[in-house]
Amino acid sequence: MFTGFPSFIRWRSYGSRVPSGAWWLVMAPGIVLALAAIAILLWPELLAYLVATVMLFAGGSLTFWGWTLRQVEQRRDQNVTVRYDNF
């Protein structure tokens, strides 16, 4: 119908560009999430453990990140030497 129109773009598929077996990258997390949802429905206290685990991991990560930034700041304050490099 619009094949002679200059701005018409014909989409052609020359075969599947998705590698075989890549469907597992989507299906596996979906299965895990569905099983976790069923487990939470059966054992509601499991949700509290999952949330507590995520919060503990996030808190530990932020604490470690803050500690490393503090170390970098202390090293920066100790190094007051100015060095000029000529290239």
pLDDT digits (tens, 9 = 90+) for 17-71: 667 778 888 899 999 999 999 999 999 999 999 999 999 999 999 999 999 999 9
Domain definitions of the chain by residue range? 44-77
CA distance 74 to 66: 12
Q: Is the pTM of this model over 0.75?
A: no
Residue 56 CA to residue 59 CA, distance in Å, equals: 5
**What is the pLDDT at residue 53?**
95
Q: Could you give the CA distance from residue 32 to residue 26 in angstroms, rounded to a whole number?
A: 11
